[in-house]
């Protein structure tokens, strides 16, 4: 069981996908420089029940191709349940985590994963020197270059 903020439709977090994003609260990582400290309390947000999650999947099914979770790996059973439902609905799945790795049971339900804590001096995925990695799990391909290309296109 976990809480989330209201989902958002996002265009840049998963290359080549429009994503329905759930920001899960109760993050125990407390990364230095975190831009989402509002996600730390587990009481923030609203309970993301299976019924509520299924309603969102139905509501957005014609508009999105990926379900993205910002966090939630600390509630493995609940997250896996939601990922299974998203996959059954024909969606790609993605997790953004501040961890460097997650259990294989979780990876088996993901299409993509972004790993690594944010370290201000190394920057995010758009920085070639970042410690973070965005991986397509089927072929273990690191797709950071797609974020770097997008960043270059935005500045030119």
Q: How is the chain split into domains, by residue range?
A: 3-155
> Over the stretch 69-102, which tens digit does the pLDDT of each residue have?
999 999 999 999 999 999 999 999 999 999 999 9
Higher pLDDT, 155 or 43: 43
Share above pLDDT 70 across residues of the chain, in percent, rounded to a whole number: 96
Closest CA to 60 of 90, 20, 16: 20
Under DSSP, the state recorded for 20 is E
Weakest mean pLDDT among 8-22, 70-84, 90-104, 138-152: 138-152
pLDDT of residue 142: 96
Q: Taking the model in full, what pTM does it have?
A: 0.94
- Rounded distance between C-alpha atoms, residue 27 and residue 42, angstroms: 7
- Which residues are CB-neighbours of 69 under 8 A, at least 6 positions away? 21, 22, 24, 79, 82, 83, 93, 94, 95, 96
pLDDT of residue 91: 97
pLDDT of residue 153: 61
What is the third-level CATH fold of 3-155?
TIM Barrel (3.20.20)
- Rounded distance between C-alpha atoms, residue 34 and residue 23, angstroms: 14
By the 8 A CB rule, do 25 and 4 touch?
yes
Closest CA to 118 of 103, 99, 140, 143: 99
Closest CA to 106 of 133, 81, 141, 135: 81
Closest CA to 42 of 74, 10, 17: 74
> Over the stretch 26-40, which tens digit does the pLDDT of each residue have?
999 888 777 788 999
């Amino acid at each position: 069981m976990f809480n989330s903020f209201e989902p958002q439709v996002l265009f840049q977090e998963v290359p080549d996908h429009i994503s329905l994003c759930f920001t899960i609260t109760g993050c125990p990582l407390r990364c230095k420089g975190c831009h989402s400290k509002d996600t730390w309390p587990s009481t923030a947000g609203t309970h993301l029940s299976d019924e509520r999650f299924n309603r969102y999947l139905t509501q957005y099914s014609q508009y999105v191709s990926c379900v993205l979770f910002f966090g939630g790996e600390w509630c493995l059973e609940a997250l896996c349940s939601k990922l299974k439902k998203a996959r059954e609905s024909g969606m790609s799945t993605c997790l953004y985590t501040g961890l460097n790795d997650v259990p294989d049971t979780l990876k088996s339900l993901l299409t993509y994963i972004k790993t690594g804590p944010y370290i201000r001096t190394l920057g995010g995925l758009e920085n070639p020197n970042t410690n973070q990695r965005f991986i397509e799990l089927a072929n273990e391909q690191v797709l950071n270059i797609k974020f770097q290309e997008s960043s270059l296109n935005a500045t030119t």
